[in-house]
Amino acid sequence: MQNNLNTLWGIYVQMKFSWILALPLIRGEQIIKNINVPACRNCMYYKPSTYNDFTSTSNKCEKFGTKDIVTDEIHYDFADYCRKQEDKCGNEGKHFTLEENLPSKMIAHFIAKNSPYVFAVMLAVLPMVSAVYIRLNH
């Protein structure tokens, strides 16, 4: 009797949850929007602000902007704004140009972003090192 109940329970569980085994077959293609669209962070015109994260939405695009005719300063548009405007880069990234030196660009950004902290640590440590050096030499 117990064996029959186990068999019936096994069949019930198998019928109830067998669809889980078929999920990989049912899933089919991935449905991720913009999967084949280039990212701004990989573009040569992408200019991260010094104190922002490299992938922040408030970074600029050096392809589009406005020049101040008095000061001669160029105000670049935000990258996410350019991607929303079809007359600029648009969703497809019409003006995307691959950045050939992306790793060095990211390292330079990291150094620039963290340089105030490095400078502050140096200012804090330098007097201590100087004091030790003076004590040892006197």
Residue 59 counted as domain residue: yes
Total tally of structural domains belonging to the chain: 1
Buried b vs exposed e over 19-58: b needs ≥16 C-beta within 10 Å?
Answer: eeeeeeeeeeeeeeeeeeeeebbebebbbbeeeeeeeeee
Residue 129 counted as domain residue: yes
Residue 81 counted as domain residue: yes
- For the chain, the average pLDDT equals 80
By the 8 A CB rule, do 64 and 76 touch?
Answer: yes
- State the Cα–Cα distance between residues 92 and 102, nearest whole angstrom: 20
> Over the stretch 98-114, which tens digit does the pLDDT of each residue have?
988 888 888 887 888 77
- Residue 98 pairs with which residues in a beta bridge? 43
Q: Which domain holds residue 115?
A: 38-136
Specify the pTM: 0.58
